[in-house]
Amino acid sequence: MDALAGSPLGWLCVGITALFGVTILCRAKRSLAGKANVLAWSLLPVLLGLLCMATLGAGRGLVACAACLISSMYLGSRELLPVGDKAVLITGSDTGIGHALAKYLDNLGFVVFAGVLNKDGPGAEELRRTCSRRLSLLQLDITNATQVQEAYLKVSKKVQNTGLWGVVNNAGILGFPADGELLPMNTYRQCMEVNFFGAVEVSKTFLPLLRKSRGRLVNMSSMAGGIPLPRYAAYGASKAALSMFSGVMRQELSKWGIKVAAIHPSGFRTGIQGTSDLWDKQEKELLENLPVDTRQAYGEDYLLGLKSYLPRMPTYCDANLSPVLSAILQALLAKRPRGLYTPGKGAYMPLCIFCYFPLWFYDFFIRKMLSTDSVPRALRTPEAESKNL
Catalytic machinery residues = 235
Return all residues near 252 (Cβ < 8 A) that are at least 6 apart: none
Q: How far is CA 35 from CA 25, 38, 43, 81, 255, in A?
A: 11, 5, 12, 18, 35
- For residue 161, the tally of other CB atoms under 10 A from its CB is 7
- In this structure, the dihedral spanned by the alpha carbons of residues 152, 157, 159 and 165, taken in order and rounded to 10 degrees, is 10
Distance CA 183, CA 289 (A): 9
Distance CA 11, CA 327 (A): 40
Cβ-contact 70, 149 below 8 angstroms:
no
Indicate the burial class of 119 (C-beta count within 10 angstroms; 0-12, 13-18, 19 or more). Answer: middle
Distance CA 291, CA 384 (A): 25
Cβ-contact 142, 172 below 8 angstroms:
no
Distance CA 223, CA 270 (A): 14
Distance CA 270, CA 261 (A): 21
Q: How far is CA 126 from CA 46, 114, 155, 167, in A?
A: 50, 12, 21, 22
Cβ-contact 162, 213 below 8 angstroms:
yes
Q: How far is CA 332 from CA 213, 354, 384, in A?
A: 12, 28, 53
- List Cβ<8 Å contacts ≥24 apart for 58-65: 58/4, 58/7, 58/9, 58/10, 58/12, 58/13, 59/9, 61/4, 61/10, 61/13, 62/9, 62/12, 62/13, 62/16, 65/13, 65/16, 65/17, 65/20
Cβ-contact 225, 182 below 8 angstroms:
no
